[in-house]
Amino acid sequence: MKKICFTPFGVLKWARGYALPTEWLNACAMIERVLSCLGFPSQRQRSTIRWGERTREPTSESRRGDTSFKAFAVAFCVLILPLTSSAQLTIHTNFPGGAVELRKIDQANQSITFAPANFKNRGWACWWHFRLTGIDTNQPIELNLQSKSSFGRPARAMFSHDGKTWKHTQPGKDSGSNVRYEHNPTRDTIHFAWGPPFQLSDAHELTSRIATANVGAEKFELCKSNEGRSVPALRWHPKTKGKRPGIWIEARQHAWESGSSWVCRGLLEWLASEETDAIRLRNQARIVVVPIMDADNAERGAGGKNQIPHDHNRDWSDKPIYAEVAAAQKLIGQMNADGEFNLFLDLHNPGPRDSIPFFFASPRTHLNPLRERNQNHFHKLCLETLGKEPFDFSKTLRISGPGYHPLWRAISKNWVAENTAKHAVALTLETSWNTIHSTQEGYLNYGRALGRAITRHLLD
């Protein structure tokens, strides 16, 4: 005969025919203790008495006892469980970009131990974002992050009460592969994340908002991602006499680098602003901006970088496997064929110890004298604009050529340099993510400063 293990957990599983969510387990354990205090068999007693298991012929009295106990426990679980579970510290990731590997919850000490989510073949495990509920605001929360990769261990975690406005926690204590953050909560529900999240819904909202702001922009679908998601982009096609300078800006070829999408948003909001240089640029230049390139991994909450067989920024070949890259190559090719292509910028976040933002440039094989002169001109202007921001900006151009990666030719800016007009500049901007300035506001301001450099480079 089928056994029924008569814990409250077992009762609910039996009564409802499916396994409970893991976050109810702690609540069940508590109810079990309550039942035990009320005189029902303890865990140890149940190891010898299995409810529903007939080890001897039951008397009618014991059957009535069984039935009344079952009825009581079912009622207790169904009525009380929702109330008690709401007071338990519970972790949630059931939203776009939500991802974490939960290793332990210590309810008494309000402490959780976790690691970045690791999705097989979806790139580095460095992104994490979760919502904690049931927080006791009378005691600190301890977040123990276990990540061998320093890319997953920010000096400060980020927290948010509404999932929209994000702030840094105090610096954590890093012991090599673990970091412990302590946070004094003022709410019973708080989001925690590696950095400020920026999801596909944010990209849609941003592009729609600017497209309806009467600043000459049009929202369009770059493509459907490999998994069928709509990838939004924005373009300006002003009517001018003669050729227009052409600009392509994209972010987030590596899904975990959410800061790059915030820089992109700062640039777009600046372009839509009333600042004179912004109006000049949008009235004269042909511009395309894509806030998220690896849409699928950004939504999954996967790292994306070095995913199998390769990531988006190693896919710029004659046979791209990602829909976003194929669409970008096609549109850049059209702009170039129209004689309207001047600047390509690929926005990223760098390594954890790169505290000053910098450009990755193409190797000398991909530079002709004209491109190099234009590149130096743009770099100089960036030093004058980005260099005034709290982040600062590096005087040194780093090179990603043959010694950098076996697929270096298929890095986007190298492909662009190889496949567009001689005068076009193609660079990767790496904005630091592990500094006190690496906040929403810091990134947005950096994007605005980038816009000013672009106007001066192309129009002055």
Q: By rule CB under 5 A, what string of x and - marks binding of each residue 247-266 to Zn ion?
A: -------x--x---------
- Closest separation between CB of residue 317 and Zn ion, Å? 18
- Closest separation between CB of residue 74 and Zn ion, Å? 53
Among 348, 409, 448, 457, binds Zn ion (CB under 5 A): 348
- Closest separation between CB of residue 257 and Zn ion, Å? 5
Asked if 324 and 233 count as a contact pair (C-beta separation under 8 A), the reply is: no
Distance of CA 291 to the CA centre of its chain: 13
Q: How many CB atoms lie within 10 A of CB 332?
A: 24
Side chain identity at residue 373, one-letter code: R
CB-count burial class (<10 Å; 0-12, 13-18, 19+) for 383: middle
The nearer residue to Zn ion, 271 or 411, going by C-beta atoms, is 411
Taking contact as CB under 5 A, which single stretch among the options 73-81, 204-212, 267-275, 347-355 is the one that binds Zn ion?
347-355
The nearer residue to Zn ion, 82 or 351, going by C-beta atoms, is 351
- DSSP for 42-85 reads -HHHHTT--TT--SSPPPHHHHHHHHHHHHHHHHHHHHHHHHHH
- Closest separation between CB of residue 295 and Zn ion, Å? 15
The nearer residue to Zn ion, 340 or 430, going by C-beta atoms, is 430
- Closest separation between CB of residue 313 and Zn ion, Å? 6
Side chain identity at residue 84, one-letter code: T
Asked if 431 and 260 count as a contact pair (C-beta separation under 8 A), the reply is: yes
- Closest separation between CB of residue 363 and Zn ion, Å? 18
The nearer residue to Zn ion, 286 or 348, going by C-beta atoms, is 348
Mode of pairing for the β-strands spanning 397-399 and 425-430: unpaired
The nearer residue to Zn ion, 348 or 456, going by C-beta atoms, is 348
Taking contact as CB under 5 A, which single stretch among the options 157-165, 184-192, 346-354, 404-412 is the one that binds Zn ion?
346-354
Q: Which of residues 96-155 bind Zn ion (CB under 5 A)?
A: none
Q: How many residues bind Zn ion (CB under 5 A)?
A: 3
The nearer residue to Zn ion, 90 or 349, going by C-beta atoms, is 349
The nearer residue to Zn ion, 202 or 257, going by C-beta atoms, is 257
Quote the CA–CA distance of 47 and 99 in Å, as a whole number.
Answer: 37
Taking contact as CB under 5 A, which single stretch among the options 205-213, 348-356, 374-382, 394-402 is the one that binds Zn ion?
348-356
Report helix, strand or coil for 326: helix
The nearer residue to Zn ion, 78 or 407, going by C-beta atoms, is 407
Sign of the C-alpha dihedral, residues 411, 344, 233, 388?
A: positive
The nearer residue to Zn ion, 129 or 348, going by C-beta atoms, is 348
Which residues, other chains included, contact 431 with Cβ-Cβ below 8 Å and sequence gap of 6+?
Answer: 259, 260, 263, 347, 348, 349, 350, 357, 391, 438, 443, 446
Asked if 256 and 299 count as a contact pair (C-beta separation under 8 A), the reply is: no
Taking contact as CB under 5 A, which single stretch among the options 277-285, 331-339, 343-351, 390-398 is the one that binds Zn ion?
343-351
The nearer residue to Zn ion, 209 or 405, going by C-beta atoms, is 405
- Closest separation between CB of residue 457 and Zn ion, Å? 23
Distance of CA 254 to the CA centre of its chain: 10
- Closest separation between CB of residue 336 and Zn ion, Å? 24
- Closest separation between CB of residue 125 and Zn ion, Å? 15
- Closest separation between CB of residue 357 and Zn ion, Å? 13
Interface with Zn ion, residue 409, by CB under 5 A: no
Taking contact as CB under 5 A, which single stretch among the options 104-112, 137-145, 342-350, 436-444 is the one that binds Zn ion?
342-350
Asked if 147 and 116 count as a contact pair (C-beta separation under 8 A), the reply is: yes
Asked if 451 and 400 count as a contact pair (C-beta separation under 8 A), the reply is: no
The nearer residue to Zn ion, 260 or 374, going by C-beta atoms, is 260
- Closest separation between CB of residue 399 and Zn ion, Å? 16
Length of the chain, please?
460
Quote the CA–CA distance of 406 and 265 in Å, as a whole number.
Answer: 32
The nearer residue to Zn ion, 159 or 433, going by C-beta atoms, is 433
Q: What is the DSSP letter of 439?
A: S
Taking contact as CB under 5 A, which single stretch among the options 60-68, 75-83, 295-303, 344-352 is the one that binds Zn ion?
344-352
- Closest separation between CB of residue 432 and Zn ion, Å? 12
Strand spans (E) along 156-302: 158-160, 167-168, 173-174, 178-183, 190-193, 217-224, 230-236, 246-251, 286-290
Quote the CA–CA distance of 94 and 178 in Å, as a whole number.
Answer: 25
Taking contact as CB under 5 A, which single stretch among the options 9-17, 261-269, 341-349, 408-416 is the one that binds Zn ion?
341-349
Interface ranges with Zn ion (CB under 5 A): 254, 257, 348
